[in-house]
């Protein structure tokens, strides 16, 4: 038994060493990528709840909203259609779409407000609760992600597609000082940066 622990430590040390030397990790499958998004947004919601700084709340709310907009887009454009085709489970698919619709409406309200708004914190808290419920539904046993695995979906290929689309969407939102800059029709992203 001591021998098998030793082997496990060696394998683990090798993996850690590879990561430390800068080798790229294996491609994330679709579910791993989507779960990583979930964990990131959950961390930002927790930080939002614990901070008292209005400036930090505004930055966190912007990060949360932007991440959720990108996340819902890649799910709706790529993952959900593939899920529906592979499983035929309209009930889970439709429920996820309706949950996204509700979140999008609240995201728009949050983006149009600030900590000066009496309801700003409440809106972010309600969005957090909505997202927690949605994530639980996707990740639970018998939920969308487990059904996707059972259906034999090619999660590696989907993961690559999700990653590429996510990068496209993120590059479409110009950044200034870590915050999204609103886009105006007819202007390129480069035109939003001030030198």
pLDDT tens per residue across span 118-148:
999 999 999 999 999 999 999 999 999 999 9
For the chain, the domains span 28-172
**pLDDT of 25-77, one tens digit each?**
457 899 999 999 999 999 999 999 999 999 999 999 999 999 999 999 999 99
pLDDT at 68: 98
pLDDT of residue 108: 98
Structure token digits, residue 59: 């930055």
What is the percent of the chain where pLDDT is above 90? 73
> What's residue 26's pLDDT?
59
13 pLDDT higher than 60: no
Give the three-class secondary structure for 144.
helix
pLDDT at 1 over 70: no
pLDDT of residue 172: 83
Span 110-117, average pLDDT: 97
Residue 177 has pLDDT above 80, yes or no: no
How far lies 38's CA from each of 12, 72, 126, in Å? Answer: 25, 11, 16
pLDDT above 70: percentage of residues in the chain: 75
- According to DSSP, residue 175 is labeled E
Residue 175: phi, psi to the nearest 5? -115, 140
Task: Write down the mean pLDDT value for the chain.
Answer: 82
Q: What is the mean pLDDT of residues 152-181?
A: 81
Token pair in block for residue 101: 């619709």
CATH number for domain 28-172, candidates 3.40.50, 1.20.120, 1.20.58, 1.10.760: 1.20.120
């Amino acid at each position: 038994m001591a021998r098998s622990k030793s082997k496990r430590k060696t394998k683990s040390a090798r993996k850690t060493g590879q990561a430390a030397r800068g080798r790229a990790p294996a491609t994330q499958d679709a579910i791993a990528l989507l779960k990583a998004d979930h964990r990131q947004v959950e961390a930002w919601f927790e930080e939002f709840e614990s901070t008292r700084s209005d400036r930090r709340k505004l930055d966190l709310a912007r990060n949360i909203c932007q991440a959720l907009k990108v996340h819902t887009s890649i799910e709706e454009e790529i993952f959900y259609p593939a899920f529906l085709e592979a499983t035929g489970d309209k009930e889970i698919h439709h429920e996820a779409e309706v949950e996204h619709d509700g979140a999008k409406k609240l995201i728009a309200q949050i983006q149009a407000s600030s900590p000066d708004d009496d309801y700003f914190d409440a809106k972010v808290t309600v969005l957090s609760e909505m997202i927690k419920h949605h994530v639980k539904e996707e990740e639970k046993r018998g939920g969308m992600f487990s059904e996707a695995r059972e259906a034999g979906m090619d999660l590696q290929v989907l993961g690559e597609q999700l990653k590429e689309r996510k990068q496209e969407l993120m590059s479409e939102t110009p950044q200034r000082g870590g915050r999204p800059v609103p886009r105006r029709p007819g202007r390129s992203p480069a035109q939003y940066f001030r030198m």
